[in-house]
Amino acid sequence: MERDGAGAWLLDLAQAHRLSPAQRRIVQRMLGMFPDVAFLSTIEIAERTGVSQPTVTRLATALGFAGFTEFRAALRDAVLAGIPEQRVPVRQESGAAAIDQERANLESLKRVLGGDPMSRAVRLLAGATPLGVVGLRASAALAEYFGYFARRVLPAVSVCTDAGSADDAVLQWSRQGAGALLFFAMPRYPAATVAAIRLARSLGMATVVIADTALVPFAAEADVLLVAPVGTGLVFDSHAAVVTLAIGLLDAIAETDPLRTQERLEAHEALVDRWVHDD
């Protein structure tokens, strides 16, 4: 859906910066307060959005302004320029923008899936037995999703989603002869994830890292870095591109040994009648 006006300016600005869930929530509520929001104080915005005054101030700096005064001035300029205000409900507008962003994220995967880093990742992980997968905090569900399907086609897959035991898991995989590990590292990047990547490399294992940008501060710690942008248009990140990349990676790994893959898939299918519900 096409967007215009000062509300669109604010939404585009928010999507261009890495905001916390709390900050995104403020933006979404501010979108429903135009044009008045451009003339409110931090206290008034805090009251109307249900957050603290410092949270509103931090939003301004997160959006790239020196402070709230500078941010409000830019907001007023957008309103006073006479640009038409947005005409759709806030949640509908945010959702439509999020879908547009995810389309762009998915489009960017074409270069990743056909690139040299992807080929290197497949070679490393296809030969890793066991295949260890690490995903902590926001990345935990991604690691479990990958692991769930990987167990259908690979002989030994182990997933760690607990920050407190990540180092222990890496050490165990090293002792079991794993040559490479797969890490999911989505914002906000847990310190335990970076520590586990560094530990893996110190133990002689290769590290394949799936992250949201090539500019992650620990990029040098990855032997192979695969980038799948996340959607930032809603309160929480959306991971459509990350999931697509993960399953594309698994598909390519499975294709390195098609006979084994077919045998394991058929064995799994033989068990389906035991758990699938069919009226």
- Token pair of 153 as six digits: 């086609």
Within 10 angstroms of residue 117's Cβ, the number of other Cβ atoms is: 17
Quick one: how far is CA 150 from the chain centroid?
20
Write down the residue that tokens 């669109």 correspond to: 8
188 preceded by a cis bond (ω within 30 of 0): yes
Per-residue pLDDT reduced to its tens digit, 135-191: 999 999 999 999 999 999 999 999 999 999 999 999 999 999 999 999 999 998 999
- Residue 242's pLDDT is what? 96
**pTM, rounded to two decimals:** 0.73
Name which of 114, 126, 109 is nearest 206 in CA terms: 126
- Token pair of 123 as six digits: 């070679």
Q: Where are the domains of the chain?
A: 5-88, 107-275
CATH number of 107-275: 3.40.50.10490
| Length of the chain as a residue count | 279
- 16 pLDDT band (50/70/90 cuts)? confident
d(CA 193, CA 225): 14
- Residue 93's pLDDT is what? 57
Q: Do residues 94 and 233 make contact, with C-beta atoms less than 8 angstroms apart? A: yes
- Residue 176's pLDDT is what? 97
Half-sphere exposure of 64 (CA within 13 A, CB side): 10
Per-residue pLDDT reduced to its tens digit, 52-111: 889 899 999 999 999 899 999 889 888 888 544 444 344 555 677 778 888 888 999 998
Within 10 angstroms of residue 129's Cβ, the number of other Cβ atoms is: 15
Yes or no: domain 5-88 corresponds to CATH 2.102.10.10 = no
Is the C-alpha dihedral spanning 99, 237, 234, 82 positive or negative? negative
- Residue 87's pLDDT is what? 41
Per-residue pLDDT reduced to its tens digit, 17-45: 888 878 888 888 888 888 888 888 999 89
